[in-house]
Every structure is written in C-alpha cells, then in structure tokens.
Structure 1
Amino acid sequence: MAEAQEQKSSPSPLEIIIIGAGLSGLSAAVSCALAGHNVLVLEGARELAEIGAGLQITPNASKIFQHFDIYDALASKAAEPSFLQVRRYSDGKILSRTDDFNGDMRQKYGAPFWDLHRVDVQRTLAERAKELGAKLRLGARVADLDFRKPSVKLETGEELHADLVVAADGLWSKCRERFLATKGTADHPLPTGDLAYRIVLKLDEVDDPELRDWISKPSCQFWIGPGSHVVAYSLRDGQMFNMVLLVPDDLPGDVARQPGSLDEMRALFATWDPVLNRFLDQVKSVDKWKLMHRPELDHWISDKSTFCFLGDSCHPMLPYLAQGANSSIEDGAVLGNVLGALQSKNQLPEALRLYECLRKKRGEAIVRETFAQRRDFHLHDGPEQQKRDELMLSRLGREIDCKFPSRWQCPEVQPWLYGYDAFEETASALRDSPLRTGATASL
C-alpha cells in the first residue's frame, strides 16, 4: 500500500487559483498544497452538496487517496464489490463473472476498487485541502478571466490575481469559453445520443428479501441490451444501492436534465430481466440526464503558461468505464506532483508542458475507449451480439485471456486503466527530463 505524501515546503511557492470544487479541482488543491503552494479554490455553489450519487473509484484513484492521506477516512464509507458480473438484458443470464473481484483488484494493483457516494469523496477532499492550508470560497461565481496577468474577476466585481489559474469547472466550463474566445474559436457540449436515469435506493426502504441481499452484499452488476445498458452497485457499506440506466436520448436539444417519468422508464425496461424490474418497482422518483461530450482541445495550457485545464473542462467522459472521476483525480495529482518539482517560477512553463504531455494523451484515449465500450454493450440482437455473447460465455469460469467486450475485465484495457500510478508516472518523467531553470514552453 502506498504511503501518505508529506507536505513540502516549496522554494518558490506559487499563488494558484483553482476554479471549481468538484473532484478535479479538489484533487488539484490537495496535490498543489502538498507541493507547498498557496491555493485558493473558487466554487460558485454555496455548499458542497454536489448533485449526483455513486462513484466507482478504481485502483488508479484509490491509490491516490493513499498518497493524499484520506484513504482511512473514505474506507469506512465505501462498499467494496466482492464480484462483478455482466448479464444479458432479457433474462438476466450471466454472460461473464469475476469472483473475488475485491481481492483480485488489491492483488493486481495494490489498491481497492471502491463504490462511494460522490458527496463523501468531495467533502473528504475539501477537508483535506483545508487541513493543508488551501482556502475554499463558496458562492464565488466567476465573471471573467485575464489569461495574461493572470487574474480572475468575480461577479461581485472583485479581482483576484495569481501565478497560475486552473480551470476545473466541468463540462459547462466558463473558463473554456473564455479561453477559446481569445483564440477566435468556440465550441459547445455535444449530445452523445444517450441519457442516464440515475437512481439511489436505501436498504431500509426495500422490503424484498432478495433485493435486500443484493444491496447488503456489495457487487457490481451490469445488464447489457440493444441500445441500452444498466449498471448497479452498493454504496456506504451496503446501506444504499446506486443504479444508472443508460438509454437513447429523447430530451429536447436545449435540456440537460429534467425529472423523469417512472412509467416511461419502466416501459423502456419492461422486457428486461425480472429482477431488474423488481428493483425499478422500488423507485419513487427519477431524473433524466443528457450525456454530453466535447471536442478535443489543441492544448490544455495557455500560451503564456499562466493557465491550464483539468477534468471535465477538457476531457468530459461518458460514464461507461467509470473513469470521469478517476481520471480527473489523476489530473489533479499529476499537476501537483509536477509543480512540486519547481525550484523557481521560471520553470512553470516547462512544468505545465510536462503536465499536458503526461495527461492529455491518456485522458483523450480514455474518452475514445468509453465510446468503444458503449458500442460493445449496446449491440442489437443479431450476429454481432451473438458473437459477443459466445466469446463472453466461452470464458465464464475461466481466465480471460483475450481482448474482451467488457473492458472492466479485459486483460488489455483493465491494467491500462487501473494500473496507472500518477505518482510514479510523474517521478519517472522528472527523472528522465528534470525541469530546467529558465525553461519556456513552446506551443
């Protein structure tokens, strides 16, 4: 197990403003504070009660929690799935199953696969950032940015100055809008063609003994079907059950989220596994969320090396590999690790260049892999689907030794995702190419 990172005293501390107190922004706040820099996080919301429910924290991120010294604080709030299985949509037939999934993850990657409530992770990161001296201002809405100074102007008229501004303001990033405007371009979130019904059930509100057993004994469950799939897993040590139903998008183009109809949702899954439908019968209300993505940016850092992106502001992801949160946490860790190597502010351009080099290619590759996972899980009944199911069934109860339709179990994709070590990645890059005094970034 990785050791907690000790807070450094930087020989050249930066003034860093992070815009957004989501998982990427707070991860960056902890990491940059550990590196000895002065951090201010600006968050438009008035409280950290982020909308959302479950997160699947894979070993590449839980390993970072060990370095951040928040592992123990989150362990008591986690559910650790003892097995993972993929079922056929119509009858619940098991197509693939990995037993002792929790032990397998720890053995392979030295860190657990956890299912956590988003708010638990967000608040734990925020408390750790504040313990390390970072400041968090809620209700601080950004009106404009100056990328040369750099400075941030709030809606109140207050202007804040820094050495580095970090955009961690998510899919609908105002920072991205301003950044692209300086280059005479623009882009907007694009619909993926899918939407998500997001559901959380509480164990004490479920009467059905079989369903209670599913909730109280954590596992990770998938149902895959034509144009849709469902993922379900326990939270908070088996006291809650998180379900996400991914279906074709029928929301109006200008609507990102709206209350969903229970009758409509149940009708969509009426021909699916009876056990799944018994869960859906427990649902009292549901929201529909349009799933969006954005084009790849040419660069994640500004020409003057005063500004950078991380998280959903530069690589929003479909939830089909559960890497949106995990890769955002990686971004924050790597940014702080790179900035921890600074000996003078003159090295900031090269440090940011290294951050972009380490993170951009991986982040964008994961985005593309999520679309590939959607394709394999959403095959319509027919020859391709039959070939997929035959392959999965041929490895049921055996070692998976081939490129596998479920990337969650694939011996090629899983190690690439879960085996990533943000700290070793940065340390290795810095050993190979130490930051030079007076270096500049050429974009």
Structure 2
Amino acid sequence: MTNASANANLSTNQDYINLEDEVAAHNYSPLPVVVASAEGAWVTDVEGNHYLDALAGYSALNFGHRHPELIKAAKDQLDRATLTSRAFHNDMLGPFCRDLAQLVGKDMVLPMNSGAEAVETAIKLARKWGYRVKGVEADEAHIIVMENNFHGRTTTIVSFSNDPEARDDYGPYTPGFTSVPYGDLAAIEAAITDNTVAVLLEPIQGEMGVQIPKEGFLPGVRELCTERNLLMIADEIQSGLGRTGTTLACEYEGVEADVYTLGKALGGGIVPVSAVAANKDVMEVITPGTHGSTFGGNPLAAAVGHAVVKLLATGEFQQRAKELEPRFREHLESLIGKGVQEVRVRGLWAGIDIDPELMTGKEACKGMAKRGVLAKDTHGSTIRLAPPLSISAEDLEQIVQALEDTLEHARAAKG
C-alpha cells in the first residue's frame, strides 16, 4: 500500500488527529494543528494554513526548519554512509568532535543521541570521576541538583525531579541525589558532603518557564565547585548553541563549567544528536567498554552536527539573538498589566506568566494558534516563546501581536 492510498481518507487536521489519538500513545497533549511542511520560521498544516513557529522544537530548530546548509550536509552524507557503529572509525566523527570541543572551550566530546542520554552520560562521568580521581568510596557518589529541574525523562533523571507528572508512579527511584532550591548558593553549600562529586544545573530553567537565576548565582556555583573539588555540570541542551545570545548560556556571566551537556539544536532539527563536552582530566575516566551507544557519533549525525558547529562558529546566530532581545523584551513587557503578570527574556527565549484569572497557558496558546502563531504552555499559566534564531524582526513582532490580540480578546470576553 502506498502512502497516498494509505492516507486517501485523511484530509483535515481532525482526520489526522483522530488517527493519532487512536494508534499513538497519549504522552503529549498537542495543539490541534497537523504540520505537513515547514521552512525557516514557518510551518504549513495539512489544510494549507500557515503558522509562525514560536517554539522551534524546544530550541532543536534554532536555525529554522530545513536550513539549506544543514539539509545539504544531511543529503550529502546520506549518499555516503549513515551508520558504522563505534566498532569502527568513521571520517565524520573526528572533525565534528574537534570543532565542537573548540566551540565550547573543551578538550574532548562524547557523542550521544538524545538530551536525556547526554545527562545520563554526564551523571556516569561525574560518578566515575568521583571514584577514580577524587577518591570517593565505592557506590557513595552524591550529586546536588536543583528543584524544578528538567533534564529528561529517564528513570534516573525523574528520580530527582519534583514534578509529579514526570515522577509519579515510576519508582523505585535512583538514590544519590540531593535537591536544593534553584538560585540558592547557601543551600548548595549546606548540601555538600565528602561524597559530593558534582553540582548539576540548568543555567536557565527552560521547562519551568525560562527561569533566569539572579546575577552572581552561576559564578557562585563555579567558585563553590572549585573550592570543594566538585564538577560543575551545566545542562545547556535547551539554553545552549545560540539561544541566549551567546554560544552557551553560562558565558553570559563569564562562567566555564567543567562539563557541558548539549543536544536539541546540535542536530539541526534533522537528526537527534547530543554530546557531553569536558576536558581530558575528566573525560578520560571513560575507557573502552565502560560506556557506549550504537548510534552515538554515527556519520549522519556527525555530519549534521558538524554543519551546525560551522554555523555557530561564525557568531552570526548568537549576535542575531542578542540584537533582537531588546525589541523582543520591550514588546513583551508592554503586555504586563494587560493579562501578563511577569516576563523573563534572555536572547530569543522568553517565559511569560499569564494572569491565571484571565486564562491558562494552554488557552493562550490556542488563541495564538488561531492567529497564526504556534507556542507552548508549561506549568499552568506560563507560555514559552523560542522562535528560530533566523526569524525576521517583523515576524518576531507578529508573534507578540498574536499574544496581545489573544489577551485583548480574553479581557473583552470577561467584560
């Protein structure tokens, strides 16, 4: 059966939604839009309606949909080799790792596939470093994490989540973690023991609605980790690779972590690519057979990832996010008191707290979709905006206008 004949009875958004509801697990609650094609900052649904993408795949599409240089890299590699496994070398992996390491200021890269895999890898790396280098007693390694974190959905990661939806009913949970309030240096210091090997944090908490720590927090964590011989692990999977106007969000305050986890945008929205980056004194505790991945570092992923690194090496995308930030912030802050309670912006990344008495975040996103803009809610009344870094200033204004019109309509309806 061809795709055409299989889809013969599917023509509307609702047709596809009904089919998906019947046969695909209900682990998401998406907006009622079925994307059929996309380019740049725009997507088109199966009915021919056009939308501005203000989410960019949770930053996986930092360079927009189907960026021509990234598509070319993928197509060229498809004609050569896609997978070798790490049982053999491939000619894409070395150049990719070399240039990614240089981009983020580290010696070595360990490639994986998903962001969660990168975080799991960083946890293993920190524990092994603790045993082999720091001298922590076997099976006693301890890692400090932040409340309201989001690092992925594997069993170990949800073990230190305090989000009931992510955590409940997945026990028994993995031990070895202490959670402290995000932004609280004193709490981190109080949680450190002789067995602590690392502090794991997001420089900006994306899933919590783009929560930006107070100035000085990240430098304070860096200082604590240096003083107490701990690894500072920065999860830059959402915040990194240009989103905040710098290559890494840590750079905003001049902080260098010991370990970075990278993902999402590293695959250019084409293939899943993630990586852990660290210096040799940390990374070389990983030896043959002690960690691996069949698909990690495959030639196709490495080719696309290398093309992403080349785009970032010019600084063009970081600069664009930095230049558009003031305009983005100004327009969003003008909505405070008009249905918006608070706005947080860093680069082209924004968290907007909607007045819960006016509407939920999901209702706001549905209203924006009716006005041609796709966004995502989180935690009740907060919405996130993360448009492609390639977006035009005019399209960026259209995103904010859609939110303003949605809020105005809701206020009018409430009288």
- Tell me if TM exceeds 0.5: no
> What is the TM-score with the length of structure 1 in the denominator?
0.23
> What is the TM-score with the length of structure 2 in the denominator?
0.25
Pick the structure with more strand per residue.
Answer: 1
